[in-house]
Amino acid sequence: MRVLKIGAKVQSAKVGDLCLVFSGAWQWNRFGFVTAALAYDSPGSIGLMAKTTKLHERQIIALPEDTPFHPAQWAGFSLRYVTAFGNWKVAHGTFRLMLTEQEYPHPYVVSWGGGVAWAQLELAKLSGYQCIMFTSDENRMAALKEKGIAAIDRRPLAAIHFSQQRYQTDVVYKKNYTAAEQLFLQTVAQATNGEMASILIDHIGEPVFRASLKALAQPSVITTSGWKLGMHLSTMRAFESGYWHQHINTSYARYPEAIEAIQFAQTHNWIPPFPERIYQFDEIPQLAQDYADGKTSYFPIFQVNPL
Ligand SMILES: NC(=O)c1ccc[n+]([C@@H]2O[C@H](COP(=O)([O-])OP(=O)(O)OC[C@H]3O[C@@H](n4cnc5c(N)ncnc54)[C@H](OP(=O)(O)O)[C@@H]3O)[C@@H](O)[C@H]2O)c1
Residue 141 counted as domain residue: yes
Query: What atom of ligand 1 comes closest to residue 225's alpha carbon?
Result: 1
Residue 258 counted as domain residue: yes
Q: How far apart (Å, rounded) are the C-alpha atoms in residues 106 and 128? A: 6
Q: Do 142 and 189 belong to one domain?
A: yes
Q: What is the mean pLDDT of residues 56-68?
A: 93
Through-space distance between the first and last CA atoms of the chain, rounded to whole angstroms: 8
Residue 9 counted as domain residue: no
Query: What atom of ligand 1 comes closest to residue 133's alpha carbon?
Result: 40
Residue 286 counted as domain residue: yes
Q: Do 180 and 293 belong to one domain?
A: no
* Span 75-99, pLDDT tens digits: 999 999 999 999 999 999 999 999 9
Q: Domain ends where: 230, 249, 268?
A: 249
Q: Do 25 and 140 belong to one domain?
A: no
Residue 48 pLDDT: 76
Backbone angles phi, psi at 104, to 5 degrees: -150, 85
Distance, CA 182 to ligand 1 centroid (Å)? 23
CB 124 within 8 A of CB 200: no
Residues sharing a CB contact under 8 Å with residue 264, sequence separation 6 or more, in sequence order: 85, 270
Residue 150 counted as domain residue: yes
Q: Do 117 and 168 belong to one domain?
A: yes
Q: Do 150 and 34 belong to one domain?
A: no
Nearest CA to ligand 1 atom 28: 204
Which range of residues forms the domain containing residue 98? 84-249
- For residue 240, the domain's CATH number is 3.90.180.10
What's the pLDDT band for 27 if we cut at 50, 70, 90? confident
DSSP conformation class of 18: B
Distance, CA 271 to ligand 1 centroid (Å)? 18
Residue 55 counted as domain residue: yes
Check if 245 has its Cβ closer than 6 Å to any atom of ligand 1.
no
Residue 10 counted as domain residue: no
Count how many domains the chain has.
Answer: 2
Query: What atom of ligand 1 comes closest to residue 298's alpha carbon?
Result: 19
Check if 158 has its Cβ closer than 6 Å to any atom of ligand 1.
no
Q: Do 129 and 67 belong to one domain?
A: no
Q: Give the C-alpha distances (Å, rounded to integers) separating 245 from 30, 171, 234.
A: 30, 30, 14
Q: Do 220 and 104 belong to one domain?
A: yes
Q: What is the mean pLDDT of residues 93-113?
A: 98
